[in-house]
């Protein structure tokens, strides 16, 4: 895809609206890369969804009746490095941690959302792209035993997952890692887990990135307290990108910069599903696809050739009218100007 800058607009210090190019097809993205409920083998579609529903029901019933396991059992860390691109499990108090990870290199943490796990295609591809394009260390945070439950129960599980992630980062700091080299990235509920981990670390992580942070049970119908969701105090610089703000995501600004890709609403480019005739099915596919577009945009932003530039503006309507008075611009992702400043 082209490495071109797209113009955008200014509102205040916390909100940027982005107009991403629809040429994302060149980023080798397929629906099975983006939607955890679709696979390359369409025969698996129904079985996967039925299995997820049954698993969520069983896990929900079990947690309501018997509670959860120790968090160290339910939350695991699967790490890769430039020299070891395949997953290796790491632990809090792992005696071999410096053999699995390189303390001299940056480290990122990628956290999935509701009903997901680290073996989803999008998680594995994001890890692979990070290792290839950025280098250093990256750990995928698997909290699937606590995520594959009824939605509100999963939301209530996020604080302890975030605190345990923070505890793991604290352990790494005792082994030679620098807080200045840590990045926390999360999708949907994982965005809030990343924020909670950042708060656990005193807001000192230089970069926290929320990928279409979940709205229901976090910011709507009413916002929960900031210790239970992503907030601009969770890191030295917090970004959020919104791609399905009206359904699964949120219209609430959560970071120092909030990027609204293509107005931040469904359907995002490539998520129109014009051949689907049933309106209900089409709407469902559109907002799920749009929700995962945030992941695709983040993956694309890992390549320096792909520049995703936002302009601060009062609204997307004002942006489309070229009515952004201040017009401050910045790039989304790890190459954001402020992020780079905080890494030193």
Active site residue 187: no
With b for 16 or more beta-carbon neighbours within 10 A and e for fewer, the 125-141 pattern comes to bbbebbbeebebbbbbb
* Measured distance CA(153)–CA(261) in Å, rounded: 29
* Measured distance CA(180)–CA(34) in Å, rounded: 30
Strand boundaries in the chain, DSSP class E: 9-12, 15-18, 76-81, 88-90, 107-111, 137-142, 182-187, 207-211, 238-242, 257-261, 309-311, 329-331
Write out pLDDT tens, residues 285-339: 999 999 999 999 999 999 999 988 888 888 888 888 888 877 688 899 999 988 8
Selecting among 116, 212, 231, 244, the annotated active-site residue is 212
- Single pTM value for the model: 0.85
Active site residue 301: no
**Cβ atoms within 10 Å of 3's Cβ, excluding its own:** 9
Structure tokens at 144: 């699937």
Strand partners, 328: none
- Domains of the chain listed by start with CATH number: 9-342 (3.40.50.1820)
Selecting among 112, 242, 256, 291, the annotated active-site residue is 291
Matching residue, tokens 């992503």: 230
* Measured distance CA(290)–CA(324) in Å, rounded: 26
Q: Assign 3-state DSSP to the chain and report helix, strand, coil percentages, each to 5.
A: 40, 15, 40
pLDDT surpassing 70 at residue 186: yes
pLDDT surpassing 80 at residue 228: yes
Of 224, 284, 223, which is closest to residue 251 (Cα–Cα)? 223
Selecting among 33, 102, 144, 188, the annotated active-site residue is 188
What is the band of 64 on the pLDDT scale with cuts at 50, 70, 90?
A: low
Write out pLDDT tens, residues 230-284: 999 999 999 999 999 999 999 999 999 999 999 999 999 999 999 999 999 999 9
Active site residue 188: yes
Q: Are 76 and 327 in contact (CB under 8 A)?
A: no
Write out pLDDT tens, residues 133-174: 999 999 999 999 999 998 999 999 999 999 999 999 999 999
């Amino acid at each position: 895809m082209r490495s071109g800058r797209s113009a955008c607009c200014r509102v205040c210090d916390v909100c940027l609206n982005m107009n991403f190019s629809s040429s994302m097809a060149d980023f080798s993205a397929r629906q099975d890369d983006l939607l955890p409920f679709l696979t390359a083998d369409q025969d698996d579609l129904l079985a996967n969804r039925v299995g997820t529903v049954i698993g969520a029901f069983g896990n929900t019933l079990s947690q309501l009746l018997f509670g959860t396991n120790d968090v160290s059992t339910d939350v695991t860390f699967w790490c890769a490095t430039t020299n070891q691109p395949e997953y290796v499990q790491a632990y809090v108090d792992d005696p071999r941690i410096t053999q699995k990870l390189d303390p001299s290199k940056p480290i990122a943490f990628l956290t999935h959302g509701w009903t997901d796990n680290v073996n989803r295609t999008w998680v594995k591809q994001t890890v692979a792209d990070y290792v290839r394009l950025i280098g250093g260390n990256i750990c995928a945070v698997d909290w699937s035993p606590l995520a594959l439950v009824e939605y509100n129960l999963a939301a209530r599980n996020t604080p302890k997952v975030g605190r345990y992630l923070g505890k793991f980062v604290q352990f790494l700091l005792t082994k030679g890692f620098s807080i200045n080299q840590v990045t926390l990235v999360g999708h949907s509920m994982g965005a809030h887990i990343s924020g909670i981990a950042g708060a656990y670390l005193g807001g000192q992580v230089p970069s926290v990135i929320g990928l279409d942070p979940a709205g229901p049970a976090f910011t709507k119908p009413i916002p929960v307290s900031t210790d239970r969701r992503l907030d601009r105090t969770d890191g030295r610089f917090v970004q959020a990108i919104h791609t399905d703000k009206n359904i699964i995501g949120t219209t609430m600004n959560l970071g120092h910069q909030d990027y609204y890709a293509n107005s931040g609403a469904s359907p995002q480019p490539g998520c129109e599903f014009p051949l689907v005739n049933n309106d209900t099915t089409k709407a469902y596919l559109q907002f799920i696809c749009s929700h995962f577009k945030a992941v695709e945009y983040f993956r694309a932003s890992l390549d320096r050739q792909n520049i995703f530039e936002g302009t601060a503006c009062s609204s997307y309507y004002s942006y489309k009218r070229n009515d952004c008075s201040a017009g401050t611009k910045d790039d989304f992702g790890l190459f954001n100007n402020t992020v780079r400043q905080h890494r030193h």
